[in-house]
């Protein structure tokens, strides 16, 4: 009897737009995954930057120096794209947390 009333209270909270613990934890996992993805893009950008600077500083061959500048441009692109994606996904997560659940979600 008590279990049924708890489930009914939980369902009424879901219908009113309140997130239950399961939803909070899922949103938190999604935020952490987004953070990990951003850090991976940052790590990749730094690695490309290091390769590019190394090619420019330690090699005298013109082709390898050009390749070094290409790596630096690629690292900049990775960093910009990773930052934009991180901010966009973070905004989407925040907006989804504020929305009340649809009837099909319950």
Distance spanning both ends of the chain, measured CA to CA: 21
The predicted model scores a pTM of 0.70
Domain interval for residue 81: 2-105
Which DSSP helix (H) or strand (E) runs through 20?
Answer: none
Domain count, the chain: 1
Please write the tens of the pLDDT for every residue from 38-75.
Answer: 999 999 999 999 999 999 999 999 999 999 999 999 99
């Amino acid at each position: 009897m008590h279990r049924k009333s708890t489930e009914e209270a939980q369902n009424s909270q879901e219908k009113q737009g309140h997130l239950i613990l399961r939803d909070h934890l899922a949103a938190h996992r999604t935020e952490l995954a987004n953070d990990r993805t951003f850090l991976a893009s940052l790590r990749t950008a730094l690695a490309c930057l290091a390769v590019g600077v190394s090619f420019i500083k330690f090699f005298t061959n013109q082709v390898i120096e050009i390749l070094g500048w290409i790596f630096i441009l690629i690292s900049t692109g990775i960093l910009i794209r990773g930052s934009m994606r991180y901010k966009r996904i973070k905004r989407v997560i925040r907006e989804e947390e504020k929305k009340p659940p649809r009837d099909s979600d319950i």
